């Protein structure tokens, strides 16, 4: 196939689609009766959002935090921020106040775009002490009483301001990840690098474009959700099929009725639908002949991938691999040979090595750490000198993932060697969990660890040693007050340390 790589970025391409196919559907929201947005309407919506940003004096280079659920508003404001030359700081809207304080304090955005409910939850954080000059709130009644540093967006949607196409390769998103250091690390992605990453991915799959339908199943605040499930389809003219209620729907009916051509499901969701579809009555529904289902976020056993394909009457689920620091770098191809159980082969522009503890390349079939480099791999974290020294060396990103390769270059996952893990496809830093547990005055030491269950699903466990009187309930309450639900241990073991059991 002819290379798709070129120097025009994703916003350039979105402009081209909106001009050539203005009435083509960009977004179809299954949860809203009037949830259809054309490419022309999405561009106008983004221009309205840009006008609101202009009224609040947002300038090129300013950081603007998006704390929103996936939806039209998220997409329109992302396009507006990029089209203004500002920098989107994309935050998980489900974070607890403890977690939100850490990332906002690190990023220091000048503006936060969020909802009234989320502003109320994090109002103490969205303040000037963390760099936040103002908050722009969605879905607020104009008569609502708000503090001086918050404004409903409806008051500012009075004029459109055209988006400006980026020049060169500026930063167009900052997201956060964990690497076992106990604190979030800021990951900056650049305009052309994001575009090259989706181009490299596109070369391995059936060509997508106007008429393609992408079922959006990943949160847009995650790097693969942002790049592969929002930026990619909008840059080729596909339709984003969105819903927050997929788990309550018949997956087969959704895929068949809307002629979905591409989607990505995390392993836990694949297991869930495998269980539901196994009980489904009736004949198999017709699927688009080129339907592609991918999995990422954590390891998917090959039998689960094949089972979903059988239950839907389509090809097995294929896998991909990437990091917040790299976007997709490995992919099983729909156009070539996909090796059973592999994560895939490198996409165009990616170099990889598999090395031993001494940094020497290992032979095919031998286990080693995966190192990657390429235009889609960041140069380093923002303001994290020690982490950069540890993970970025001699131009290579040290992933911390142990893998092996076969003779044809297919890469297979073995295990993670860093003190991080994926729980429900979300990153968990074991040191962060331990640090929160250690805030209890009777805790002396804490150790978090991962044990896969009988279905190869990672489960988090925590052992806390401390003084007499320390209880599971106390530690559980402390953790739930600080951490998101997916970070909470499945079991908590309390050990009374002898040297402290009789302390006065």
pLDDT digits (tens, 9 = 90+) for 339-368: 999 999 999 999 999 999 999 999 999 999
Please, are residues 147 and 171 in contact by the beta-carbon 8 Å criterion? no
Q: Quick check: do 39-190 and 245-416 share a fold?
A: yes
Beta-carbon contacts of 57 under 8 Å, excluding residues fewer than 6 positions away, are none
**130-167 pLDDT per residue, tens:** 999 999 999 887 667 889 999 999 888 778 999 999 99
- pLDDT of the residue at 504: 40
**228-259 pLDDT per residue, tens:** 999 999 999 999 999 999 999 999 999 999 99
- Alpha-carbon distances, residue 342 vs 31, 299, 402, 468, 479 (angstroms): 35, 10, 13, 49, 36
Span 23-33, average pLDDT: 96
Name which of 232, 259, 417 is nearest 320 in CA terms: 232
89: tokens are: 């700081």
Quote the mean pLDDT of the chain: 94
Out of 3.40.50.2000, 3.40.50.720, 3.40.50.12780, 3.90.1150.10, the CATH code matching 245-416 is 3.40.50.12780
Name which of 323, 338, 344 is nearest 401 in CA terms: 323
Query: What topology does CATH give the domain 39-190?
Result: Rossmann fold (3.40.50)
Domain 420-501, CATH:
3.30.300.30
**99-136 pLDDT per residue, tens:** 999 999 999 999 999 999 999 999 999 999 999 999 99
Domain ranges of the chain: 39-190, 245-416, 420-501
Please, are residues 217 and 263 in contact by the beta-carbon 8 Å criterion? yes
Give the predicted TM-score (pTM) of the model.
0.94
């Amino acid at each position: 196939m002819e290379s798709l790589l070129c120097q025009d970025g994703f916003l350039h391409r979105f402009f081209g689609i909106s001009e050539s196919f203005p009435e083509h559907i960009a977004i179809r929201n299954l949860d809203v009766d009037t949830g259809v947005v054309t490419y022309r309407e999405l561009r106008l919506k983004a221009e309205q959002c840009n006008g609101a940003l202009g009224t609040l004096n947002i300038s090129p280079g300013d950081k603007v935090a998006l704390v929103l659920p996936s939806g039209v508003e998220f997409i329109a404001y992302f396009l507006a921020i990029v089209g203004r030359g500002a920098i989107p700081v994309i935050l998980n809207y489900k974070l607890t106040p403890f977690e939100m304080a850490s990332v906002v304090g690190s990023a220091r955005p000048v503006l936060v775009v969020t909802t009234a409910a989320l502003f109320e939850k994090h109002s103490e954080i969205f303040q000037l002490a963390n760099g936040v000059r103002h908050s722009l709130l969605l879905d607020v009644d104009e008569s609502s009483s708000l503090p001086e540093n918050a404004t409903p967006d409806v008051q500012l949607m009075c004029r459109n301001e055209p988006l400006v196409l980026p020049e060169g390769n500026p930063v167009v998103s900052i997201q956060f990840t964990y690497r076992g250091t106990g604190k979030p690390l800021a990951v900056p992605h650049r305009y052309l690098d994001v575009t090259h990453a989706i181009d490299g991915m596109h070369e391995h799959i059936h060509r997508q474009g106007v008429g393609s339908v992408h079922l959006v199943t990943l949160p847009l605040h995650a790097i693969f959700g942002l790049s592969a499930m929002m930026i990619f389809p909008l840059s080729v003219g596909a339709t984003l099929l969105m819903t927050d209620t997929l788990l309550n729907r018949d997956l087969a009916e959704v895929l068949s009725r809307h002629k979905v051509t591409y989607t990505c499901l995390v392993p836990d969701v694949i297991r869930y639908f495998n269980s539901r579809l196994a009980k489904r009555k009736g004949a198999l529904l017709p699927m688009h002949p080129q339907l592609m289902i991918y999995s990422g976020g954590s390891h998917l056993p090959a039998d689960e991938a094949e089972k979903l394909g059988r239950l839907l009457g389509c090809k097995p689920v294929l896998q991909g691999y990437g990091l917040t620091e790299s976007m997709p770098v490995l992919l099983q191809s729909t156009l070539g040979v996909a090796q059973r159980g592999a994560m895939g082969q490198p996409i165009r522009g990616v170099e990889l090595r598999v090395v031993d503890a001494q940094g020497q390349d290992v032979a095919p079939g031998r286990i080693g750490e995966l190192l990657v480099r390429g235009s889609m791999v960041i140069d380093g974290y923002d303001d994290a000198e020690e982490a950069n020294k540890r993970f970025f060396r001699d131009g290579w990103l040290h992933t911390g993932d142990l893998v092996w390769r076969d003779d044809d270059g297919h890469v297979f996952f073995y295990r993670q060697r860093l003190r991080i893990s994926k729980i429900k496809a979300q990153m968990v830093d074991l040191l962060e969990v331990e640090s929160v547990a250690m805030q209890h005055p009777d805790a002396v030491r804490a150790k978090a660890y991962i044990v896969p269950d009988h279905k190869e699903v990672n489960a988090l466990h925590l052992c806390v040693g401390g003084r007499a009187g320390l209880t599971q309930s106390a530690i559980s309450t402390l953790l739930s007050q600080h951490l998101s639900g997916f970070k909470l241990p499945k079991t908590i073991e309390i050990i009374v340390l002898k040297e402290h059991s009789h302390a006065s």
